[in-house]
Amino acid sequence: MTTEALRGAPGLRLTPGQLRLLKAAGWVLLVWVVLFWRLGYLPLLDPDEAHYAEITREMMDAQDLVVPLLNGQPHIDKPVLFHWVQAGSFRMLGRTEFAARLPSALSAMLLFLVTAWAGSRLFRRDTGD
């Protein structure tokens, strides 16, 4: 529904502040459903998810957070920063599917926010609404 349709609806008069709040609530709901809802519900079925979680688990068990390990051998496949963030998630939330997926979901949300910020700076504030 467009802004004009909301403003012109009979019996529904929204101020610009209320309209911005309604749009923001819609975006928050969309991001929650797409990124976070049931984040830890399914087991790690994707081979990459399980692979990266295992690398982080082995790094934590070996107490070596510099070199990623897989089956006890160095495995330099992904920048180690990802494994540090995932290890922090494991330490705070336990070694669960939710904790393994949380860094990727937060990164996706950060990408969304940076894209919105860049769009508002390069174009108009309402670009993409």
Q: pTM for the complete prediction?
A: 0.74
Q: Which residue do the tokens 């994707």 mark?
A: 46
Tell me the C-alpha to C-alpha distance, in Å, between residue 81 and each of 73, 78, 121: 18, 8, 29
Q: What local confidence, expressed as pLDDT, does residue 83 receive?
A: 92
What is the pLDDT at residue 129? 57
Tens digits of residue pLDDT in 42-54: 777 777 888 889 9
pLDDT of residue 8: 53
Strands (E) across the chain are located at 69-70, 73-74
Q: How does residue 55 score in pLDDT terms, banded at 50, 70 and 90? A: very high
Specify the amino acid at residue 90: F
pLDDT confidence tier of residue 75, bands split at 50, 70 and 90: confident
The domains of the chain are located at 1-37, 41-129
Long-range contacts for 17-26 (Cβ within 8 Å, ≥24 apart)? Answer: 23/129
